[in-house]
Amino acid sequence: MATSYAGRLDPRHAPRLWWLAALCWVEALAVGAYLSAAPERVESLRYLFYPFVWITVGAAAVLWTEPPRASARARVVAGAVAAAYFLVLAALAGLVSVDFVALFGGSHGHAAAHYPTGWQFSLAAPGWGPRVGYAGDAVSATFVPYRVAGSLALAYLVYAAVLDAARRALSGALGLVSCVGCTVPLVGGLTAGAAGGTGVVSALRALSVDISTLVFVVAVALLAFGPSLAARARR
């Protein structure tokens, strides 16, 4: 799925390092400009930097992950799996929500609750914003830059993992189903949603961004490095 450890340090990959360095430079400029222009003092700097952890780690994983060659059919299947995975992540993160009752002709949830509908735009700290949202009677979606970038990176890694599994036939398919890197973000989101009203989650609510960032980094590392480590272990 991904390049070997030697390949990751190959001089031919220098352009990727330049792209990553340029991204980090733009992020540093954005943070500096925000701190200079922010009307209020930033209380927790880590929340200002977490979005860039998502964006930078995700970009690095995508730049250094090379999906294996595969047939057109395998690429279509892998693309469909990756798209479904992205939608599940987006739903768990609250980026997309669907009111199925309203969708199939029932009472309109947003209208009944007197929520505003239509397009919405708001500014926020770099990475957290700018936010663009759409609220409809049945479907709502919100664009949060760092969340969308992170979810797209994970979906791309899953796309590469599916293509890699297709080359390994049954053993690879079973490995994909049990893929820890694929399931870590899903299990984390489902657990938080199921226990949303418990005292433990309420106590940890202040650390929700910290925990989600850690889960994201672990998931990317497992998806990006897992196949290489497994291949080395089999030798």
Answer whether residue 189 shows pLDDT above 80: no
Q: Name the residue with tokens 């880590």.
A: 46
pLDDT of residue 147: 93
Beta-strand runs (E) in 17-108: 96-98
Out of 69-78, 100-109, 195-204, 226-235, the most confident range is 69-78
70 Cα distance to chain centroid: 24
136 Cα distance to chain centroid: 24
Distance from the first to the final alpha carbon of the chain: 17
pLDDT of residue 38: 78
Give CA torsion, residues 149, 161, 91, 152, to 10 deg: 10
pLDDT: which is higher, 110 or 17: 17
Longest dimension (CA), the chain: 62
Q: What is the mean pLDDT of the chain?
A: 78
What is the arrangement of strands in the sheet containing 139-143, beginning at the earlier edge strand?
Answer: 96-98, 139-143, 131-135, 118-122
What does the domain layout of the chain look like in residue ranges? 5-68+150-234
Out of 62-71, 145-154, 203-212, the most confident range is 145-154
**Mean pLDDT of the region 60-72:** 90
pLDDT of residue 3: 45
Distances (CA, A) of 150 to 15, 58, 60: 22, 6, 11
Listed residue (22, 53, 33) closest to 125, CA to CA: 33
pLDDT of residue 75: 93
Answer whether residue 7 shows pLDDT above 60: no
pLDDT of residue 39: 72
Binned at pLDDT 50, 70 and 90, residue 143 comes out as very high
Beta-strand runs (E) in the chain: 96-98, 118-122, 131-135, 139-143
